[in-house]
Structure 1
Amino acid sequence: MLVRDALTTRDLFLCVADFQDGSFKDLMPFRHVKKPPHSAYMHKLPTALTHLHQLLVPWLATYGTARLDKLFGYMPHMRDLIILHSVVFGDVPTLTYLLERFLKEIHGFSDPLLDVAAAYGQLAVLQILHAVEYPGCTRNAIDWAAFHGHLPVILFLHAHRKEGATTKAMDAAAMNGHREVVKFLHMHRTEGCTTDAMTEAAWNGHLDVVIFLHTHRSEGCSIWTMDRAAWSGRLAVVRFLHEVRSEKCTAQAMDMAAWNGHLDVLEYLHGIGAPCTANALQYAAMNGHLEIIKFLVSCRREGNFSMAIAAAEQRSQSAVVQYLKAHAK
């Protein structure tokens, strides 16, 4: 009886198993998981970690954190991967366990985890890492949080960290239409922005941000701002820029509006006397924008019919070819 009890003791069995070759079945799926490149950290970590996430979530639901030590013993590279996963996905229970077991290793982590937490809006993770005096933070933290519009994260970093930010913060927030972030950075930070802020906001159609920057900032915008708004069909932005800004537009505004088929923008630009080139007709022909072509043929004189017909034929735009040949001058 005593022999049987000894031989069936779980701890003894695990001790014997430690000297055997092979891997545990539940750990095998993690063999081929690799750390994502640093270039993925700002925008693409959730995608880059998809495979790990799909494996790890059900695995943790089954085993909890009890098997993590065994996993790290057999596959040491998995420790950093799971640390990174817990930060990106806001897995506070796992991160808490890891901090209790591997605080020194986390403090020496090769990548700034506060930056990563900030980029993905993981405020609870940010607070935990800050509380244990984790040092890995750079100016990217606020910059990346601003890019993604994570205002609560920015508020925390502004109040508790000293790394600062760069002009990329407001530029990126403006580009992505995060008006409240732009407003906070304007009111409470000193880094400011560049002309890219208004230019990118205009390109993406964020009129409220463009108006805010025009009203409250002095950096202005580039000479390409109205062109880019026209390119992307942002008529309200084009109109505002023409009415209140001095940069105006170049011939590219009409040319690129024609390329992308933005008839309303084209009509407005024509109405204010904006220039264009022969490229407008050629671009419209190439892309099959017949209504644009009709407008240009009837209202403008810059077009080269031979080049436009050749471009349309190359793209098999038969309706365009037929119309241009019928109206060739």
Structure 2
Amino acid sequence: MADYVLRTPELVRKVASYQVGWPFELVPLAVFLDHALPTEVYGPMAGVAPEDDRRRRAFAPIHALFPAWFERYGVDGLARLLLHRASYRDHLVFYAVLYGNVALLEFLSTNVRLDVRSPHWCYAAYFDHLDVLEFLMAHGYEGYSTRVFSVAVAAGHLGIVRYLHELGSLADSDAMRLACEHNHLDIAEYLHYHLDLSWDRPCVVVYDNESDGRCAIRDFLIEHGYVFETVQCPRRGVLDRWRLRKRSSRDLRLLRVVESTDDNLIQRAVNLAAAHGLSHIVTYFCRHRVATFQTTQALDVAKDCQERVLVPILKDQVKKETPRRRRHPWCFIQ
């Protein structure tokens, strides 16, 4: 009986209230936030289903705890948590984007401009959180790009695609390819009938299996005169690696041929090479700048896929491309 009294939660809270350090009620949430993935992430990985996304799984313990914790301690508890460690704000922002908690975003943005970047937009589209996108749009946050549109297309969220298109978002022929490769006929039809783009009938890929949805995709493309290729569907998890082999065969001679096509294809090839750690291909493109591509984008992909060999190579390349401020000899104060 004596042991039971000494171990009651009420007594522990009472003792902790007189001690210096973290309040008792903040410790459970703080423990999970400390072990969450860093917020320096670079958008959802292509070819990975939303339910398999490792960042959402990493924040799952926080999501399991947060509703009950917030119901008990409310806004005051959140304010005290951020007062003890301001860096938790970025973790909570990312958690709110992953799980569509707009109310939490509104609280975190009170009198503070949130650090919202491209991955936040991409994940909101990836998990079909239209309300989060509306919040980011309404508050004028930066970081939106056409990649967000492509993520929504690949994930099959027609509502997000329609919303972004009505806002004037741009897209390229890659969107139709993504819709067909991921078997989203409704999005392919929407792209065909609503997007006024000079596509010149892009070549798309349809995987050969017995799915009725694939047959519908093929019928749609044939009806509207799209050039497409039917191939065997690769195993799950090797889709991006298959695309890279198909376009470049990991052969520098073929990559030189690819360079003569278009810059958008070069960017995709470099990103895929960075995603799979093909350092010789990335190094080749960095040294032979026949085509234009964004090294920072390839660096983001390499970081996202944890390719530790490629990250320093691309970082050095980004430094070389960054213009340095010239010092003037006549100015002694710089």
Range into which the TM-score falls when normalised by the shorter chain: 0.5 to 0.7
- Give the AA of the match of 1:34: A
1:33 matched to 2:35? The reply is: yes
Residue of structure 2 equivalent to 1:133 = 140
- Give the AA of the match of 2:24: K
CA distance in structure 2 between the partners assigned to 1:101 and 1:40 by the alignment:
27
CA-based RMSD: 2.8
Q: 1:82 aligns with which of 74, 82, 92?
A: 92
* Aligned structure 1 segments of 4 or more residues deviating by more than 4 angstroms: 191-194
Superposed CA deviations along residues 84-140 of structure 1, whole A, max 9, x for unmatched, are 1112211122122222242x2x1x434442222112111111112111111221111
Structure having the higher helix fraction is: 1
Return the offset for 1:217.
4.2
Q: TM-score, normalised by structure 1?
A: 0.55
> 1:191/1:88 Cα in 2 relative to 1: closer, same or farther (>3 Å)?
farther
Residue of structure 2 equivalent to 1:172 = 178
Q: TM-score, normalised by structure 2?
A: 0.54
Residue of structure 1 equivalent to 2:218 = 210
Superposed CA deviations along residues 48-68 of structure 1, whole A, max 9, x for unmatched, are 321221222221222223221
> 1:59/1:217 Cα in 2 relative to 1: closer, same or farther (>3 Å)?
farther
User: In the alignment, is the contact (CA less than 8 A) between 2:26 and 2:77 conserved in 1?
Assistant: no
1:56 matched to 2:66? The reply is: yes
1:110-125 alignment to 2 at 5 Å?
110-125=117-132
> 1:75/1:217 Cα in 2 relative to 1: closer, same or farther (>3 Å)?
farther
Residue of structure 2 equivalent to 1:154 = 161
> 1:66/1:184 Cα in 2 relative to 1: closer, same or farther (>3 Å)?
same
Structure 1 stretches of 5 or more lacking a match? 1-16, 233-329
CA distance in structure 1 between the partners assigned to 2:215 and 2:144 by the alignment:
33
Question: What secondary structure does 1:82 align onto?
Answer: helix
Larger relative contact order (CA 8 Å, sep ≥ 6): 2
Percent same amino acid at aligned positions? 24
Return the offset for 1:180.
0.8
> 1:110/1:123 Cα in 2 relative to 1: closer, same or farther (>3 Å)?
closer
Return the offset for 1:143.
0.5
Higher deviation after alignment, 60-69 or 30-39: 30-39
Residue of structure 1 equivalent to 2:83 = 73
- Give the AA of the match of 2:92: I
Higher deviation after alignment, 165-174 or 120-129: 165-174
Superposed CA deviations along residues 27-50 of structure 1, whole A, max 9, x for unmatched, are 222233323562563541422321
> 1:110/1:198 Cα in 2 relative to 1: closer, same or farther (>3 Å)?
closer
User: In the alignment, is the contact (CA less than 8 A) between 1:198 and 1:213 conserved in 2?
Assistant: no
Q: Max radius of gyration: which structure?
A: 1
Residue of structure 1 equivalent to 2:152 = 145
Question: What secondary structure does 1:199 align onto?
Answer: strand
1:1-329 alignment to 2 at 5 Å?
21-29=20-28, 30-31=30-31, 32-36=34-38, 38=41, 41-42=44-45, 43=50, 44=53, 45-102=55-112, 104=113, 106=114, 108-162=115-169, 164-189=170-195, 190=197, 192=199, 194-195=202-203, 197-200=204-207, 202=208, 205=211, 206-221=214-229, 225-226=230-231, 228=232
User: In the alignment, is the contact (CA less than 8 A) between 1:115 and 1:136 conserved in 2?
Assistant: no
CA distance in structure 2 between the partners assigned to 1:93 and 1:191 by the alignment:
40
Structure 2 stretches of 5 or more lacking a match? 1-16, 236-334
- Give the AA of the match of 2:110: E
